[in-house]
Structure 1
Amino acid sequence: MRLVPLDLDRDLDLLHAWVTHPRSHYWGMQGATVDRVRSEYQGIADNPHHHAWLGHDEDGSPLFLAETYEPAHSELARHYDVRPGDIGMHVLVAPPTSKRSGVTSAVMRAVMDFCFADSRVERVVVEPDVRNEAIARKNAEVGFVEERHVQLHDKVARLSFCTRVAYEMSVPHLNPHAMASAHRRLIAKAIAEFSHERLINPEKIDTNRYRFGENTFTAKRYPLEHWVIDADSLDGPLDALDFIIGLRETLGIPEKLLGTYLEEISATLAGTAWKITHRRETAEELVHADFQTIEAAMTEGHPGFVANNGRIGFGLSDHEAYAPEAGSPVRLRWVAIRKDESIFVTAGDERAHYVSELGEELLDRFERQLASRGLDPGEYRYLPVHPWQWEHKLTVTFAPEIARRAIVPLDAGPDRYRAQQSIRTFFNTDRPDRHYVKTAIAVQNMGFLRGLSPKYMQATPPINEWVASVVEGDEELRACGFGVLRELASIGYTGDAYHRVGTPSAYTKMLASLWRESPVPKIAEGERLATMASLLHRDRDGNSLVSALIRASGMSAARWVATYLRAYLRPIVHCLLRHDLAFMPHGENLILVLENHVPRRVFMKDIGEEVAVMNDQPLPPDVERIRIDVTDEIKELALFTDVFDGFLRHLAGILDADGVLSAGDFWALAGDCVREHAKDHPQLSGRLDLLRPTFQHSCLNRLQLRNTLQMVDLTDQAGSLIFAGELENPIA
């Protein structure tokens, strides 16, 4: 949101409609004429100690009126001892035109941020009508403390104050209502996913009514033992932490890691409460939203993991600055690192890469910064750093290297980025044609510390080039519009003591980055982008985006799903059967290209870490790392586990629960997609049995519960899997 000075010539009619609306009766202008409103606000415009502001929503629509004033020059001066740094404030939210929860809270924080943006302000003063209980609650939410009632010329007012520190310490999302909702959602998800992984077995007590422990609930069961639980139907204790504690032996959490897992559960609850409080986009609005608005609006996290929003290491201000749902602009920090103590890999020219990402002017300034310190710019290269990593880790953990100028701090880049769902990857919002930047960050999230290994990433650009050549050279994949976003360059520092020890650890993954292609230059007019995770999104009112997209497309649900499966499922099947090539094609790793609200093609990303070749075909030496030797049954799990169980079961459940398309019809369409591919490619028949009646049930939460610090060994991911029997194949 942003505030601009009120312009009476432009805003008078809007202002009059707002201040005279019945919901604005505490504003004291009921029945006022347009001329009276103009006169009132002309008086404010002429007063150097009083200012009126029009507040705009994120999309530029007028949303609220704010006033700021100097209490020393108001009637409040007679009622309290005015301090230097005091500012008075009024706020009026526009009468609602649709159901949108959380608007007033968001507006209140926007106005408070605006007030405290002036470094001279130390305290905000308000004096609402004592009868206005609603605004009193909103004031308390952001840190106001009522001092006493005072008689002003037109009302009895609550004289209240909020200091800068009180506001900074306010946590409006950590309130009983939001946290109760977060507990309810997380327990519903825990019961659903732990039941799916056969860790627990709820008792059926009636049609669609179940009991587990002290909780009863309404649920429907779908193919792949997928549970859709109505969170609002949950009865019984609603404390997610106690729920996990009560199951610790059943879940098999190692005693030494129980506290870590509980912290991830607490962080997931806090993140959910924040999203409930602050994310306000409706599913209908997201149908027409841009790429990054959709990215920030996602509230679910990984659909399978229960503790999926840990981010251990982030504080409150870090969350609001760097979490993807906060949608805050981020300017990356840049450091210079010695070439002889670092790694840089790209298919092109190194300096040309920096010019394309930074521009000649900034690159020249960086070189002059180095020269001004008596350093030779020719001996250095440039690495982007997450601001959190610089502040919390690098200045301490790499202090000796900074002191001896092996690492040289430079400046923030001019471009603004936004964090993506993976937390450590950034999209350039000022120059969307420029690359994504993926950074190392020592934050524990969903079973891993989110670092990057320089030595491991040496092979990333070659791997991406090889995969891209396979995809681009395949007629079937071209026909499906399937593409990959290549990771084109990687960089990392290796001159520290942690690397000299010779043992890989979290400390050898703290200072590295890579650059990935942006999808923006690859789309045509009339196309737009969205993370595939958005197909599993429900807004705060429970409405799903995928159902809204289907309605907006004008297509039948069956045709829409069939079109989507051709863009997503068919290429995955083809890569598996034709090339023994497997990706990790979950929601966050796919970007949809939508035309008329229908997914027509997809981009796969995160290739370097999450791709495998499962045969003995010749590979370039730099690409050999991705080869794995597995049985045909494990190969098939690249479809059954990663696609069917990891994503499509959730999508099928949403469409069935919404009454848009039955789960039976959904899986029939998925089966048709696989069979049509087989019909079109008879030469691939029999390579794998994708229509087998059952497949091994590989379990994600069991991995995290076994070791919440590192779920799998990245050098032997297949060997790390945990199975729980078999699942029936829904397309058999």
Structure 2
Amino acid sequence: MSTRAITIEPVDLDRDLPLLHAWVTHPRSVFWMMQDASLDDVQRAYAAIAADPHHDAFLGRVDGRPTFLLETYDPAHDEQLAELPELAPGDLGMHVLVAPPADEPEPGLTTAVFHAVLDHCFADPSVRRVVVEPDVRNAKIRAKNVAAGFTELREVPLPGKTAMLSVLPREDRVHPDPRPVAVVPDEKHRDAPEGGAFGQGLPSADHLTPELMERAQRHLVAKAIAELSHERLIAPVVEDERTGTWRLDTGGEPGEPGASYVFTARVLPLEHWAIDEASIRRTVAGREVPLDAQELIAELAPVLEVPDALLPVYLEEIAATLAAGAWKLRHRDVPVADLIDADFQEIEAAMTEGHPGFIANNGRIGFSLDDYRAYAPETGATLRLHWVAARRDLTRLSLGEGETEQRLYDAELPPGVRDRFTAQLTGLGLDPADYLFLPVHPWQWQHKLAITFAPDVARRDLVHLGPGLDEHQPQQSIRTFFNRSRPRRHYVKTALAIQNMGFVRGLSPAYMAATPAINDWVAEVVHADPELRDCGFEVLREVAAIGYTGDAFHRLAGTSPYRKMIAALWRESPVPRLAEGEQLTTMAALLHRDAAGDALVTAWIKASPVDAADWVRAWLRCYLRPLVHCLAAYDLAFMPHGENLLLRLRDHVPTGAFMKDIGEEIAVMGDLPLPAEVERVRGDFPDDVKALAVHTDVFDGVLRHVAAILDADGLLPVEEFWAIARETIVAHAADHPELADAVARYDLLRPRFKHSCLNRLQLRNTLQMVDLSDQAESLIFAGTLANPVAVDRAGGSA
């Protein structure tokens, strides 16, 4: 098979009509349904295809000999299929007819042709699935479909046949040995881009150009200098105070000159460095050289103290972050004006910065270029989660209040899908009652479950059931998915064993067992509190969690990322709780600037009926004030960074917030009575660390960035911004004299607080920057920061 040269070219009716007529009318081509067609009939049929922008016909050659006929079409424009609920954007329909052999059939020929056809179909990066609908009686082609990875969904009545609707997601394809397939474009597709439907099947890297990479490098170098200076790992010196020019000198290798970086910047409260990206100049030995984030890290390696064995891993995450930055500049340049009234999933996909503090924040080590385009949240692509049946006695399903197994699966698996899964198990001689259904990321199935857990699959402790029907959109947290097909249904969060931002992104079955109970307790506390209700502060419960523990890794004494690879949870959707006229957005959007430098928060304020000061008051009332109240009233701390909060807006003004990601990231820091199953969230923290739940996670992690944007855009000076933050805290204390002792204990208005550093954590251990079982002990401090909301003990501003 490896010696065959297979080419695919558009049908030329003037040349190919007699050949096509002979093929489609041959007795062996009965399933093509053109047995009685005349030459004119075939001419009209394929002339119509040539004129149809959504339907194409190709002639395939093997070693130069005409051998097969291929048709591709867009099912969304097929009158027989367009209304089928199983179809989705990114589907490509396909028919293939291998020429009846003149002599004895050639062994392996049909298989080679079939895989060449799939190469052709998936060469277009926009194609997510290939759809076929063979006659249910065509056992040979159905078997070949299944062998290639197709999933048979259901029988569909079509004119002249009962079809078996089948789909092959890109990630499910069973690949043969790789081999090139040449494709000749026709007039309809002569302008197709390189790497598209008529290229060589290679993923496009059109974002990796010198111009785009220079912009990505400049942005990341500016961020690196700013955040490393903020964390006091480096110390730029003033070169010209009048112009705000600074200089940073880095060390070189022994005997080699170091580099110098000169730039203009303003240093705002909380030692926030607002650097003018365009001003940065890098020189080596007096000669200006291009900016390079990897070289900057290498130059600073002695002071960053990254372990030698882990520095290449960090540099790889830097490279991936640069690649993602270039891709977004090429493909996700969404003007802020288009986001002001956008749907919250449009906003989610338009976010380009990632975490505002971490420098290497788009690592995703393990993703290929195709994986990036299919699964990265900024691409805006949707996917269909895969499902496995996990043997019940090796799997734990934890359910929150009001949830049952039956109710969960009935809601999350659309009608017919659960029946299909049950039939697949029965067809293997297995009892469906012995299994639980567990959603997995398509990448996780292909790269981990089918390989690392192959023995579990082989002994049927795990059974791959194929994709579900619902389209899900990745969120910024990359392993959490919003249901685009049915927005009122739950989010799904899955294990994803890629290395990203200091962690392998797994989910621990043991750790998640208590997740629904923890969420129930937090929801009960929050929903019963009048202050929190008045602020419009709510939580989105994680209502169910599931994890498989039957693998060999769970029989080892120590923990490892391998014990966190087969698990998932379901979280409530905010959609059913939105009031009429409200807009929903990730709070990360408040830190977003588009490629032109325009800020979304600035656009929202200008579009709103209030000024910037009142807008910030409204925001902090539904963000900062509830978090302060939870600390004072319950010693309850969240992890309230931008991606963990959803804001509700009315007339572009914040009116409320949804807190999410509860189970993994809350702590109770006092002696509040807790249910036994919730006790694990209680933490023993030093008093000066407890207040960091606001000082670090809110002030340093979120507010300093928004304050800098509003100041730079001329909407609100930073001094006024922090005065409003102080006003918010003081007003809460005045409204709750019963919490005076707790307010004094946390002392959020103290003059200084400990400076907890994020990048130092990642630089210390790029593989696991924090021990989740003892996060306080994992923290790294760099002295203290002046508190921008501090008051002196006489009551005035500090």
Q: TM-score range by the shorter chain?
A: 0.7 to 0.9
Hey, what does 2:596 align to over in structure 1?
A: 541
CA distance in 2, matches of 1:524, 1:592: 13
1:118 Cα deviation after fit: 9.2
- In the alignment, residue 185 of structure 1 is paired with which amino acid? H
Residues 82 and 248 (structure 1), Cα distance of their counterparts in 2 relative to 1, 3 Å cut: farther
Report the 3-state secondary structure (helix = DSSP H, G, I; strand = E; otherwise coil) of the residue aligned with 2:310. helix
Task: Using the aligned pairs only, state the percent identity.
Answer: 57
- 1:123 maps onto 2:123 in alignment: no
- 1:185 maps onto 2:243 in alignment: no
Hey, what does 2:768 align to over in structure 1?
A: 710
1:18-417 correspondence to structure 2 within 5 Å: 48=48, 50-51=50-51, 122-123=182-183, 125=185, 142=194, 164-165=199-200, 168-206=202-240, 207-213=243-249, 214-236=260-282, 237-347=290-400, 348-417=403-472
Structure 1: runs of 5 or more not aligned = 1-44, 54-66, 73-80, 88-109, 129-134, 145-161
Residues 653 and 550 (structure 1), Cα distance of their counterparts in 2 relative to 1, 3 Å cut: same
Give a deviation string over 1:116-137, Cα, whole Å, max 9, x none: 9999995354899xxxxxx99x
CA distance in 2, matches of 1:377, 1:672: 59
Asked whether the 8 Å contact 2:414–2:469 carries over to 1, the reply is: no
Hey, what does 2:584 align to over in structure 1?
A: 529
Q: TM-score, normalised by structure 1?
A: 0.81
- In the alignment, residue 209 of structure 1 is paired with which amino acid? T
1:48 Cα deviation after fit: 4.2
1:712 Cα deviation after fit: 0.7
- In the alignment, residue 544 of structure 2 is paired with which amino acid? A
CA distance in 1, matches of 2:721, 2:416: 54
Asked whether the 8 Å contact 2:635–2:669 carries over to 1, the reply is: yes
CA distance in 2, matches of 1:412, 1:359: 12
CA distance in 2, matches of 1:412, 1:625: 35
Give a deviation string over 1:411-449, Cα, whole Å, max 9, x none: 211000000001100000000011000000100000000
1:380 Cα deviation after fit: 0.8
- The counterpart of 1:565, out of the listed 604, 616, 620, is 620
Report the 3-state secondary structure (helix = DSSP H, G, I; strand = E; otherwise coil) of the residue aligned with 1:185. helix
Residues 287 and 260 (structure 1), Cα distance of their counterparts in 2 relative to 1, 3 Å cut: same
CA distance in 2, matches of 1:114, 1:591: 30
Asked whether the 8 Å contact 2:203–2:369 carries over to 1, the reply is: no
Asked whether the 8 Å contact 2:215–2:326 carries over to 1, the reply is: yes
Asked whether the 8 Å contact 1:480–1:601 carries over to 2, the reply is: yes
CA distance in 2, matches of 1:357, 1:186: 40
Asked whether the 8 Å contact 2:310–2:765 carries over to 1, the reply is: yes
Q: TM-score, normalised by structure 2?
A: 0.74
CA RMSD of aligned residues (A): 2.8
Residues 303 and 83 (structure 1), Cα distance of their counterparts in 2 relative to 1, 3 Å cut: farther
- 1:683 maps onto 2:738 in alignment: yes
Asked whether the 8 Å contact 2:755–2:783 carries over to 1, the reply is: yes
Hey, what does 1:455 align to over in structure 2?
A: 510
Residues 48 and 304 (structure 1), Cα distance of their counterparts in 2 relative to 1, 3 Å cut: same
- In the alignment, residue 449 of structure 2 is paired with which amino acid? L
Give a deviation string over 1:73-111, Cα, whole Å, max 9, x none: xxxxxxxx9999999xxxxxxxxxxxxxxxxxxxxxx99
- In the alignment, residue 702 of structure 1 is paired with which amino acid? R
Structure 2: runs of 5 or more not aligned = 1-44, 60-64, 72-121, 133-180, 250-259, 283-289, 791-798
Asked whether the 8 Å contact 1:419–1:426 carries over to 2, the reply is: yes
- Larger helix share, 1 or 2: 1
1:546 Cα deviation after fit: 0.3
- In the alignment, residue 215 of structure 2 is paired with which amino acid? S
1:616-695 correspondence to structure 2 within 5 Å: 616-685=671-740, 686-695=744-753
1:365 Cα deviation after fit: 2.2
CA distance in 2, matches of 1:322, 1:183: 23
- In the alignment, residue 199 of structure 2 is paired with which amino acid? R
Asked whether the 8 Å contact 1:557–1:661 carries over to 2, the reply is: yes
CA distance in 1, matches of 2:204, 2:619: 44
Hey, what does 1:511 align to over in structure 2?
A: 566
1:210 Cα deviation after fit: 1.2
Hey, what does 2:489 align to over in structure 1?
A: 434
CA distance in 2, matches of 1:124, 1:615: 70
- In the alignment, residue 555 of structure 2 is paired with which amino acid? R
CA distance in 2, matches of 1:470, 1:376: 42
CA distance in 2, matches of 1:395, 1:699: 39
- In the alignment, residue 357 of structure 2 is paired with which amino acid? G
CA distance in 2, matches of 1:657, 1:364: 57
- In the alignment, residue 198 of structure 1 is paired with which amino acid? R
Asked whether the 8 Å contact 1:116–1:122 carries over to 2, the reply is: no
Residues 379 and 551 (structure 1), Cα distance of their counterparts in 2 relative to 1, 3 Å cut: same
Give a deviation string over 1:654-675, Cα, whole Å, max 9, x none: 1111111111111011010001
CA distance in 1, matches of 2:427, 2:49: 46
Residues 70 and 460 (structure 1), Cα distance of their counterparts in 2 relative to 1, 3 Å cut: closer
Hey, what does 1:477 align to over in structure 2?
A: 532
- In the alignment, residue 568 of structure 1 is paired with which amino acid? Y
Asked whether the 8 Å contact 1:85–1:123 carries over to 2, the reply is: no
- In the alignment, residue 223 of structure 1 is paired with which amino acid? P
Asked whether the 8 Å contact 2:540–2:574 carries over to 1, the reply is: yes
Report the 3-state secondary structure (helix = DSSP H, G, I; strand = E; otherwise coil) of the residue aligned with 1:591. strand
Asked whether the 8 Å contact 1:85–1:122 carries over to 2, the reply is: no
Residues 118 and 689 (structure 1), Cα distance of their counterparts in 2 relative to 1, 3 Å cut: closer
Report the 3-state secondary structure (helix = DSSP H, G, I; strand = E; otherwise coil) of the residue aligned with 2:450. helix
CA distance in 1, matches of 2:628, 2:636: 9
CA distance in 2, matches of 1:430, 1:200: 48
- In the alignment, residue 226 of structure 2 is paired with which amino acid? A
Residues 85 and 116 (structure 1), Cα distance of their counterparts in 2 relative to 1, 3 Å cut: farther
Report the 3-state secondary structure (helix = DSSP H, G, I; strand = E; otherwise coil) of the residue aligned with 1:672. helix
CA distance in 2, matches of 1:208, 1:51: 64
Asked whether the 8 Å contact 1:115–1:124 carries over to 2, the reply is: no
Report the 3-state secondary structure (helix = DSSP H, G, I; strand = E; otherwise coil) of the residue aligned with 1:718. helix
Residues 85 and 283 (structure 1), Cα distance of their counterparts in 2 relative to 1, 3 Å cut: farther
1:502 Cα deviation after fit: 3.0
CA distance in 1, matches of 2:612, 2:484: 33
1:142 Cα deviation after fit: 2.5
Report the 3-state secondary structure (helix = DSSP H, G, I; strand = E; otherwise coil) of the residue aligned with 1:599. strand
Give a deviation string over 1:453-488, Cα, whole Å, max 9, x none: 101100100000001111011110111110000000
Report the 3-state secondary structure (helix = DSSP H, G, I; strand = E; otherwise coil) of the residue aligned with 2:397. strand
CA distance in 2, matches of 1:170, 1:433: 35
1:50 Cα deviation after fit: 5.0
1:364 Cα deviation after fit: 2.3
Residues 501 and 46 (structure 1), Cα distance of their counterparts in 2 relative to 1, 3 Å cut: closer
- In the alignment, residue 501 of structure 2 is paired with which amino acid? M
CA distance in 2, matches of 1:509, 1:580: 30
- In the alignment, residue 557 of structure 2 is paired with which amino acid? G
1:216 Cα deviation after fit: 1.2
Asked whether the 8 Å contact 2:123–2:195 carries over to 1, the reply is: no
Asked whether the 8 Å contact 1:334–1:382 carries over to 2, the reply is: yes
